Amino acid sequence: MQKLKTRERIGISSPTTSLPEQQFIELRACIEEANHILRSLGNPKQPENPRQLQLKLASLINKHVKLNIAYQGMFKSLQGILVQAGRNYVQLCTGSHQRYVMFDDLISVTTSLRSSKFPHHTDNPYLSNKLNCQILYNYSDTVSGSVRLLNRFYGIPLSVALLEQVGRKIRVRHTPNVEVSGILLDTTEQAIVIRTAKKRRTIERVPFEKIEIVCVDQ
């Protein structure tokens, strides 16, 4: 792990791609705009930026990406398929695990050519005639019954997104080289609630503000 002296937002770099020219131009424009938003994320004068960043990152769903993150002065990278972008987090599929990273720790996102190491899905979960009809004729029930759709339309925080993982094995890294593992019991607005895997099982609460990475077994 490499020491990061200054926490700067590097941005999102454009991929090398074989896409048709028009699609590549559109993707590059999206990346450049997300890059601008990412650089200004910490600006308190623009509180709407996280939502704008979420919407831009949503265009990278199902693409192989590399996330560069910084936590307590330490720098690391994660690679996988971008599954979801929420109000304050991104969700990455890395083989047999789902990993969640907070926007506050994200310093850059790089799209790349598909890696054979990870499964690649081209279907957009939001584009289907059946789903469009359900939303059109029964918006309230359709959207409220789906965490993904709630996130797509309104942007949900990590505390809400993790509720669909209740009952699964989870690992939470909250300081460098320190990890809490066990079964996810619940979340609140402030913390994750875990029944630990220790011999003497205890209930631990890990505040979101102290979390580096959340890892859930698939």
Residues 166, 74, single domain; the answer is no
Domain limits for position 168: 159-217
In a domain, 119, yes or no: no
Sequence-distant (≥ 6) Cβ neighbours of residue 84 within 8 angstroms? 61, 90, 91, 148, 151, 161
Residues 184, 211, single domain; the answer is yes
> According to the model, what pLDDT value does residue 166 have?
94
- Higher-confidence residue of 101 and 55: namely 101
pLDDT at 101 over 80: yes
Residues 136, 164, single domain; the answer is no
Instruction: Provide the number of structural domains found in the chain.
Output: 3
Residues 7, 72, single domain; the answer is yes
Residues 98, 43, single domain; the answer is yes
Residues 87, 12, single domain; the answer is yes
**In the predicted model, what is the mean pLDDT of residues 81-94?**
93
What are 104-152's pLDDT values in tens digits?
888 888 876 554 455 544 455 555 677 777 777 777 777 777 778 888 8
Lowest-confidence region among 68-72, 94-98, 198-202: 198-202
Lowest-confidence region among 31-40, 144-153, 165-174, 191-200: 31-40
Residues 169, 152, single domain; the answer is no
In a domain, 116, yes or no: no
Residues 65, 23, single domain; the answer is yes
Residues 203, 134, single domain; the answer is no
Residues 145, 201, single domain; the answer is no
In a domain, 199, yes or no: yes
Lowest-confidence region among 3-17, 109-123, 176-190: 3-17
- Higher-confidence residue of 49 and 94: namely 94
Q: How confident is the model at residue 7 (pLDDT cuts 50, 70, 90)?
A: very low
pLDDT at 24 over 60: yes
Q: How confident is the model at residue 198 (pLDDT cuts 50, 70, 90)?
A: confident
